């Protein structure tokens, strides 16, 4: 009886050890799969992306747009910023992922409220806001203002950005509008960037988002 009990104890210990090994292996496999899932298919350096910004008149802004695309009409105090973002074709297609192009006023941490866009694949460039930018802002502190703003129990858009779903869309040329804020309104109080603004106030960044909304990387272009 004593020997039988000893064997049973060893068996139980063996079962526990095996269970621990299986558990560790499963945890390792999960961590490995998650790491692989979050791993970018290529580094931003491969794209050699660059950006330019300049203030232009309405006529120059309109001339930079393709036929049928209109820049915002001029009004006293409004500013039109002409921007251009270029990159090399990456080694792999976006395949359900996309590039996010951000223009942020670093004084107020807000984005423009209006864009006009031209591109070789203009159908692949959309204007708007996406809640994934909240994750972008949490991951990269220097991109404060990328995501929506929480006001009480709700969230408010913080201006617009450009989403590019085709890697062949380079170059993306855009006109960002900076309207005049109403008198006595606080800076950034409208929830979007307003005039007057200087080019040195503006940050331009490119973010790679994966097909499952993973934030692969962000690169400061300007």
Q: What's the pLDDT tens digit per position in 113-143?
A: 899 999 999 999 999 999 999 999 999 999 9
Percent of the residues in the chain that have a pLDDT greater than 70, as a whole number = 82
Q: Which two tokens stand for residue 152?
A: 């009480």
Instruction: State the average pLDDT over residues 54-60.
Output: 96
Look over the chain and give the mean of its residue pLDDT values, rounded to a whole number.
Answer: 87
Place of tokens 């992922």: 97
Distance CA 160, CA 115 (A): 8
DSSP string, 43-88: -GGGGT-EEEEEEE-HHHHHHHSPTT--PPPP-TT-EEEEEEEE-P
Per-residue pLDDT band at 151 (split at 50, 70, 90): confident
Q: What is the predicted pLDDT for the residue at 21?
A: 59
Q: What is the predicted pLDDT for the residue at 209?
A: 98
Instruction: State the average pLDDT over residues 3-9.
Output: 55
Percent of the residues in the chain that have a pLDDT greater than 90, as a whole number = 70
Q: What is the predicted pLDDT for the residue at 157?
A: 82
Question: Cα angle at 129 between 156 and 79, to 5 degrees?
Answer: 90
Task: Name the strands in the sheet holding 172-178, side by side, starting at the edge strand that comes first in the sequence.
Answer: 50-56, 79-86, 172-178, 114-118
- Cα–Cα distances (Å) from 152 to 7, 20, 144, 149, 180, in that order, read 64, 46, 19, 10, 26
Neighbours of 191 (CB within 10 A): 17
Are 53 and 198 contacting, i.e. CB atoms less than 8 angstroms apart? Answer: no
Q: What is the predicted pLDDT for the residue at 13?
A: 62
40-49, 91-100, 190-199: which has the minimum mean pLDDT? 190-199
Q: What is the predicted pLDDT for the residue at 73?
A: 86
Q: What is the predicted pLDDT for the residue at 19?
A: 54
Distance CA 83, CA 52 (A): 5
């Amino acid at each position: 009886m004593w020997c039988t009990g000893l064997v049973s104890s060893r068996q139980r210990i063996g079962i526990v050890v095996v269970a621990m090994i299986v558990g560790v292996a499963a945890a390792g496999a999960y961590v490995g799969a998650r790491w692989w899932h979050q791993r970018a298919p290529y580094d931003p350096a491969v794209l050699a992306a660059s950006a330019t910004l300049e203030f232009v008149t309405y006529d120059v802004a309109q001339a930079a747009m393709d036929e049928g695309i209109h820049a915002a009409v001029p009004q006293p105090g409004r500013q039109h910023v002409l921007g251009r973002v270029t990159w090399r074709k990456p080694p792999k297609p976006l395949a359900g992922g996309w590039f996010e192009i951000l223009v942020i006023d670093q004084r107020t941490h807000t984005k423009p409220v209006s864009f006009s866009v031209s591109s070789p694949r203009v159908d692949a460039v959309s204007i708007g806001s996406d809640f994934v930018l909240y994750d972008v802002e949490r991951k990269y502190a220097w991109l404060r203002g990328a995501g929506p703003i929480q006001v009480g129990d709700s969230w408010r858009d913080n201006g617009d950005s450009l989403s590019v779903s085709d890697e062949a869309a380079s170059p993306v040329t855009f006109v960002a509008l900076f309207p005049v804020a109403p008198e006595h309104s606080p800076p950034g109080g409208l929830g979007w960037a307003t005039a007057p603004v200087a080019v040195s106030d503006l940050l331009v960044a490119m973010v790679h988002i994966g097909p499952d909304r993973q934030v692969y990387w962000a690169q400061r272009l300007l």
